[in-house]
Structure 1
């Protein structure tokens, strides 16, 4: 039986809420699966012995249509009747835990985090273990900030592994550079470090220190230029250039880095918005590469 569309959409988002610990704030209602919350702990989605997919599908059956829709933005509001806390999916950590997203707050006992060099400079070291150690440090600091109650999420929109072909693109400094192989190696090392995997990829499946998100998928390297902006830009890319240049970093990020997230890009790819591209998101990322984040 084919799952309803809202189940498929929400199943991309909700598994992380079942894996991550609850950020305890004094004003929060009891978390749904706490032993003290007798009204909800009996639900199947609280049974940690069940597979995540079964728990997600059970949780979704308890949501109204309005509640389902509310969970699809980067700000997911709480659902008090089920003891589900609010969650902010948008946090940044390109070269250190940043408060530029909505999820991190430096208004408590932790006033800041380590800021590492911009990625274009770090990548110039050609040192994969250094990239891993930076990702590891960022992931550890992110978890510490969260555990201290100064974060409303553990999903970080990094790394940026777009290919930097045109020096006029202002965000190119966020990337490892113009070489697809190098960008792929960077993605593997950074993602493994941030998420808590070992350098050689022998971590514990399903256990995340923090969640990485490889972006922007794909063929994205323009923000605004001569009346063309990233929201309306159509990247016309040949099949060969797509496979040789733009896709290898994302393929490595998924298959070897085991990233728990991918961000589709703002642009169109050959006339199709990437965020609505079935061939790109479902057939390629999930089907060919095995992405399950």
Structure 2
């Protein structure tokens, strides 16, 4: 009788005990603080996109700069190159003022991001554009950098639907303002205001935007597809991105593009 009870207890434990969370080989990634990121960390390591440091750590809580995030995108979406992508600006006759020939991420930056990279590239009239490669990125930056990947696939909503979706989100940390056609707009990078008009004939100067409808489309899709989440009605646009958070966003984007059948043109992974 005792043996039967022990056997029954063992069987029940197999049926109802939840499986242990898969772990990584990194000593500073644990199943409590980084549980949300462990599948994505493993995915990125398995795909050869990221590796740990020599001391056996992953540094999941270290903030990511623009160059590092670009390299992750470059390696994960290894077929996304603007020179051969009909959806992206293929112009190669420009240089970023702050990405010199010796910069370690120069090739990924130039291969991925063109002058049409809304919210990624800072345009200064007739002066050379700026990329700010060493700046730690925020969720606002990540939105645009990942949105540009979507732009390269052609996935997304048309302008009218995207605007309706974003307006209905009623995000507390992003302003949306309608302006008259041909309005000259001076942008303040600290003020997350999206300007639009019914004809799309407004212009900006000394700004980081080439088309505010890009931003509108990015928000609509990234939030709608649950690649980026909101919290208490906010997109938390000013929060910086850690390595753990970066790989989660990239993994979600990868899975989304794969699920709608657009992965093979931009990635062999």
TM-score clears 0.5 = no
Task: Report the TM-score, using the length of structure 1 for normalisation.
Answer: 0.25
Give the number of the structure with larger relative contact order, counting CA–CA contacts within 8 Å between residues 6 or more apart. Answer: 2
When Rg is computed on C-alpha atoms for both structures, the one with the higher figure is 2
TM-score normalised by length of structure 2: 0.27
